[in-house]
């Protein structure tokens, strides 16, 4: 069975007022309309009765789960970024979960690390994962590698992914071609 995994589409990352969106993510989304493409992909999966899962990154108040020594996440507490109890940790409205769609919360880059994602996918009978996310070169690539090594068939929906720059996007897609199929939302067939 196929499933769509929507990775880190949170206000702090995608919304123009988000704490880290100024790194280029909001501008990339505005330029390429990635969340509009994702919305259509979500609708296609939902219409086919296939699972749409949502993964978010963040930390609860007190930031006990935060890797303070991380170059990527080490200062999140100073800016109150990725607060799972605040607006920034909420899903971007355009592509937010609907109904009883499953939500996985993570505290690191990859969606499989210390989460119930693999158990959930196996329980649902998922064998094919379709990935969309922000950032392409971070959560999408990390999750694609882990999914591949767990024997899932991996497909990246490239126009449903957001990077900080065109260079980051292209470099990551080139890397992932070695372990995943790369398509656009126009090529998606559920």
Can you give the residue range of the structural domain that contains 92? 2-187
pLDDT tens digits along 78-132: 989 999 999 999 999 999 999 999 999 999 999 999 999 999 999 999 999 999 9
Q: How far apart are CA 93 and CA 33, in angstroms?
A: 14
pTM: 0.96
Number of domains, the chain: 1
Give me the CATH number covering residue 124: 3.40.50.850
Q: What is the pLDDT of residues 158-188, one digit of tens each?
A: 999 999 999 999 999 999 999 999 999 999 9
CA separation for the pair 42, 131 (Å, rounded) = 11
């Amino acid at each position: 069975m196929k499933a769509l995994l929507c990775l880190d589409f949170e206000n702090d990352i995608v919304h123009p007022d988000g704490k880290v969106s100024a790194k280029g993510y909001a501008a990339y989304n505005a330029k390429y309309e990635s969340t509009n493409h994702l919305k259509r992909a979500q609708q296609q999966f939902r219409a086919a009765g296939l699972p749409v899962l949502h993964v978010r990154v963040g930390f609860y108040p007190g930031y006990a789960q935060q890797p303070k020594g991380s170059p990527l996440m080490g200062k999140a507490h100073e800016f109150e970024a990725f607060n799972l109890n605040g607006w920034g940790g909420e899903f971007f409205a355009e592509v937010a979960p609907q109904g009883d769609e499953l939500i996985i919360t993570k505290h690191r880059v990859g969606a499989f690390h210390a989460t119930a994602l693999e158990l959930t996918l196996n329980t649902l009978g998922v064998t094919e994962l379709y990935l969309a996310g922000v950032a392409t070169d971070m959560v999408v690539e990390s999750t694609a590698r882990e999914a591949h090594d767990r024997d899932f068939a991996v497909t990246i929906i490239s126009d449903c992914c957001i990077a900080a720059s065109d260079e980051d996007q292209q470099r990551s897609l080139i890397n992932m071609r070695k372990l995943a199929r790369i398509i656009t939302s126009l090529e998606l067939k559920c």
